[in-house]
Chain A
């Protein structure tokens, strides 16, 4: 690059470059820099940053000014009492085709905080909402911002498993708590479990296992399975087969985002299975369910599914999905007072029926509240907060709820069935309990106690 020195833009750019360099140097240094445990740690960090930014300036001047600055900072910090706001980062997908799920998570969590009066253990709550755009690299950059700039104590999110894989390490290594309201991958349930990671939904395999067990209990002999051709699709069918011992007629993996399932439907009809198991989330499920109903298969072939007919897709599937089954730990008709109040409240606020995504996010809000009530609003003592979180001492919308050793739930699972309500809206309804106090199989590999 040629530097003319005449163009003001050039010198501006060069200055910018300098800043980036110093910041990068600070970041590198920070990697090997252990945070001191004394109370004005935050002041210390600013001090170091300033040292690095100033670079080669007059050392004497620098020392006096920074000592002065750090002193002032320390003063202002001690002036802030225990009433300083509790900062929670919310990571969710709010753009792209999957935004409908992300909005339920965001709205469910915000509703929980609203119902708590906007305060947790007397501290006002500040929620920083970020959109992960369903891109792992974007999620990591934004989450680092949450941790370093906003200094959040809790990160709630994300919706999708690939984002969880990306943000798990940055959050837990920064010493913040990560609470997943939806994604629950097997690696973090087993060997990769972490004491600061909690899941308020399920381990990913479990909703699929519910249907496999159900098909086995009902005595179906020949099952036909369909899932998209990617990792979650393969995990799904493996989960179904864990408890289903009958014959698998065929196991079909369709390309992600398939529009027209006519050729698959013709094959299903001609192979005449006893039962169909489908995992086609989002728009794929809408396409499949409509076409399945139109092909006249719904009258003769039992339809079992996971994440294919739920409250996020039912507004588009409507009558086509009525009577179809799915597996979940909760449904909007759950019979307990807190769940009934939640559903009514959610519908009044957002004018849609809440799905399990919203329920799990709401429970995440209640969980954080229960922990901070136990520590009287203090977040400094991480061990105390962690112990309080592990107790899960809150009235979950699904009734019974507790944590396994790996931070994943132990709870009941049901087969739920799509129904049309009296007011014309559609929802899933609990039909039959399949598992009681069911934990995941990976917990045995987790070293946490």
Chain B
């Protein structure tokens, strides 16, 4: 297998991880018209709960299950205590309140778990790696991440397209006021969506825990990428989040691997390295700017949304 194919695989893997985070964000943002900056810290909470429960139960799947239940309960609690009171407020109030929650939770996990990063071992069945030609080994666990990302995408698609709940979600993304006027209990719908969105973020955090450092503030970098993804894909659209995440994952990975070689075609090696380093971290934002210019609603906007 060539290096290019492996880098494409890496890009898909990063993209699917981003999809798990962005799917929850796009649901909450799209359906509820709620700017939830705290989505990143919900991802962090998922990773911390997974680290705790996996360590405590000594088993990856049991620990993951407990972490998912834990993060869902946590999401419901947050909705009840804080988010419920912000639905009718302006976007600025929501940004302020959820930004406060970021500060609060980042400091909170430090008080509970300490400032030093935590470790989550790779589950035993998925240790080891597969040889993909020319001495390049690909860890099995990364295939697991790809698999679980695809599985989650399939489940979400089935729920959103084929069930009554999914219909309500789509209707809410198009016009929540009309949905409420038709007699649907929008508050309850919002609560379910919020809890589900939190669980998706937590799931992403838990799956990333064995390959990433579990530390306070780990969600902040992910949050920015997730917003880029949903802006590219179209707010409120699961399909858009999927396409946007894969695009971002692929472009980021390929730009990082090939921009130096590419720049070398035009300038000397030292200059190429300097330019490429700056350029490669810029690519996804260039993509976002391009999409906003050509299709301001994103690649796959939710239907009927204005």
Q: Which residues of A contact B (CB under 8 A)?
A: 95-97, 99-100, 103, 229, 251, 253-255, 257, 259-260, 262-264, 266-267, 269-270, 272, 282-284, 286-287, 290-291, 294-297, 312-313, 315-319, 352
Contact = CB atoms under 8 A, between A and B. Distances in A.
A258 to B, nearest CB: 8
14 contacts: A95-B110, A229-B277, A260-B14, A262-B14, A266-B136, A269-B135, A269-B137, A283-B215, A286-B213, A290-B210, A295-B129, A296-B128, A296-B137, A316-B213
Contacts of A295: 129, 137-139
A103 B215 contact: no
Interface stretch (B23-31, B60-68, B217-225, B292-300): B217-225
A445 B215 CA distance: 41
A147 B248 CA distance: 49
Contacts of B281: 229, 255
A313 B117 contact: yes
A262 B13 CA distance: 9
A270 B7 CA distance: 12
B286 interface: no
A99 B109 CA distance: 13
A270 B134 contact: yes
Contacts of B186: none
A442 B215 CA distance: 37
A315 B3 contact: no
Contacts of B135: 269-270, 272
Contacts of A284: 213
Given A255-B281, A259-B212, A286-B213, A317 B107 contact: no
Chain B, interface residues (CB within 8 Å), range: 35 or more
Contacts of B174: none
Interface string B206-217: 001011111111
B10 interface: yes
A312 B139 contact: no
B137 A297 contact: yes
A294 B212 contact: no
Nearest to A229: B277
Interface in B260-306: 273, 277, 280-281
B260 to A, nearest CB: 8
Given A266-B3, A296-B139, A99 B110 contact: yes
Contacts of A229: 277, 281
Contact of A263 (B118, B121, B213, B257): B257
Contacts of B13: 260, 262
Contact of B222 (A97, A99, A259, A267): A259
A315 B117 contact: yes
B253 interface: yes
B107 A264 contact: no
A296 B142 CA distance: 13
A295 B13 CA distance: 14
A312 to B, nearest CB: 6
Q: Which 6 A-B pairs have the closest CB atoms?
A: A286-B213, A296-B137, A316-B117, A99-B115, A283-B213, A262-B10
Contact of A97 (B10, B134, B137, B215): B215
Contacts of A257: 221
A352 B3 contact: no
A259 B6 CA distance: 18
Given A260-B13, A270-B136, A316-B213, 4 more contacts: A96-B217, A100-B114, A100-B117, A319-B121
Nearest to B110: A99
A286 B117 contact: yes
Contacts of B148: none
Contacts of B217: 96-97
Interface in B4-35: 6-7, 10-11, 13-14, 17
Contacts of B239: none
A259 B253 contact: no
Contacts of B137: 269, 295-297
A267 B3 CA distance: 8
Contacts of B256: 254, 263-264
Nearest to B280: A255
B116 interface: yes
B191 interface: no
A302 B137 CA distance: 16
B141 interface: yes
Contacts of B175: none
A269 B218 contact: no
B7 A296 contact: no
A63 B144 CA distance: 81
Contacts of B128: 296
B118 A262 contact: no
A155 B253 CA distance: 45
B189 interface: no
B129 A315 contact: no
A76 B14 CA distance: 67
A316 B277 contact: no
B218 A283 contact: yes
A97 B216 contact: yes
A96 B129 CA distance: 34
B158 to A, nearest CB: 28
A423 B33 CA distance: 52
B143 to A, nearest CB: 12
Contact of B273 (A96, A253, A266, A352): A253
A256 to B, nearest CB: 9
B282 to A, nearest CB: 10
B213 A262 contact: no
A253 B277 contact: yes
Contacts of B121: 318-319
A263 B257 CA distance: 6
A287 B213 contact: yes
A254 to B, nearest CB: 7
Given A260-B211, A291-B211, A270 B3 contact: yes
Contacts of A259: 208, 212, 221-222
B273 to A, nearest CB: 7
B205 to A, nearest CB: 12
The CB with the most chain A CB atoms within 10 A, among B129, B135, B213, B253, is that of B213
Contact of A100 (B115, B122, B280): B115
Contacts of A270: 3, 134-136
Given A287-B213, A295-B129, A263 B273 contact: no
A266 B10 contact: yes
A262 B215 CA distance: 20
A100 B3 contact: no
